[in-house]
């Protein structure tokens, strides 16, 4: 199980043991507000309060899209070539 936290970290826990498996430090400066997995489950996508969507895995942790407000919904295209984000201000964005 993977979860995003208000301290800006992403943490993964064992599904049966509940033990912490790993932590991604400094994922977002204003907290993690959304998480999603790519269609092939090879990439983790996170959104933060600062309005960035970031992909980890083959995307290498790079910011994919800057927005004015926080990202509260995320999705990747079927080929994982595009990241789509949505936020509370009615804004939406997409990036490669």
Q: How far apart are CA 96 and CA 84, in angstroms?
A: 9
CB 14 within 8 A of CB 21: yes
Report, in this order, helix, strand and coil percent for the chain, each rounded to 5: 0, 50, 50
Report the predicted TM-score, pTM, of the whole model to 2 decimal places: 0.71
Tell me the C-alpha to C-alpha distance, in Å, between residue 40 and each of 3, 44, 60, 64, 90.
19, 10, 16, 18, 28
Give the tokens for residue 12: 């993964």
Give the start-to-end residue ranges of the domains of the chain.
Answer: 29-95
Report the mean per-residue pLDDT for the chain. Answer: 77
Question: For 7-23, how does the pLDDT look when each residue is reduced to its tens digit (9 = 90+)?
Answer: 999 999 999 999 999 99
| Per-residue confidence (pLDDT) for residue 94, from 0 to 100 | 53
pLDDT band at 57; cut points 50, 70, 90: low
């Amino acid at each position: 199980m993977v979860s995003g936290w208000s301290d800006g970290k992403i943490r993964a826990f064992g599904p049966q043991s509940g033990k912490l498996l790993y932590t991604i430090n400094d994922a977002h400066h204003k907290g993690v507000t959304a998480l999603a997995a790519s269609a092939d489950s090879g990439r983790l996508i996170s959104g933060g309060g600062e309005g960035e969507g970031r992909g980890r895995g083959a995307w290498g942790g790079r910011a994919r899209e800057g927005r004015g407000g926080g990202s509260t919904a995320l999705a990747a295209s079927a080929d994982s070539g595009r990241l789509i984000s949505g936020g509370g201000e009615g804004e939406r964005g997409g990036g490669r």
